Amino acid sequence: MGGAGGGVAYNQDEFEEICSRGFDLSPTSEIYIDEYLEGWKEYEMEVVRDKNDNCIIVCSIENLDPMGYILEIPLQLHPLKP
């Protein structure tokens, strides 16, 4: 997700430290917590749906960067490699 207070915690102490830093940096005193899926690949699907709920995938995108890394210019492959 990124952000000034973000991080990955591998134990309870790191989790509490990251949460504390996030609260300190948040103008709304809120933080977002999610599960980190280390080593997983991220895929995006562009889907078109009509009013009858018919769907088709018009494009598939594979992000070549590991999940959790935010780059200015993401590396993507269109279409997915086999």
C-alpha 41: how far from chain center: 10
**Same domain for 79 and 46?**
yes
- What number of other Cβ atoms are within 10 A of residue 22's Cβ? 19
Q: What is the pLDDT of residues 52-70, one digit of tens each?
A: 999 998 888 776 665 555 5
Residues 6+ apart with CB under 8 A from 49: 55
**Same domain for 45 and 69?**
yes
The SS3 call for residue 68 is coil
- 41: nearest Cα among 57, 72, 63: 63
Tell me what the mean pLDDT of segment 19-36 comes to. 89
Listed in sequence order, the DSSP H helices in the chain are: 12-25
**Same domain for 45 and 73?**
yes
The pLDDT-based confidence of 78 (bands split at 50, 70, 90) is low
What is the value of pTM for the model shown? 0.48
**Same domain for 77 and 47?**
yes
- Predicted pLDDT at 3: 65
**Same domain for 27 and 43?**
no
| pLDDT at residue 79 tops 80 | no
Domain that holds residue 4: 1-36
Q: Please, are residues 5 and 32 in contact by the beta-carbon 8 Å criterion?
A: no
**Same domain for 49 and 25?**
no
**Same domain for 75 and 47?**
yes
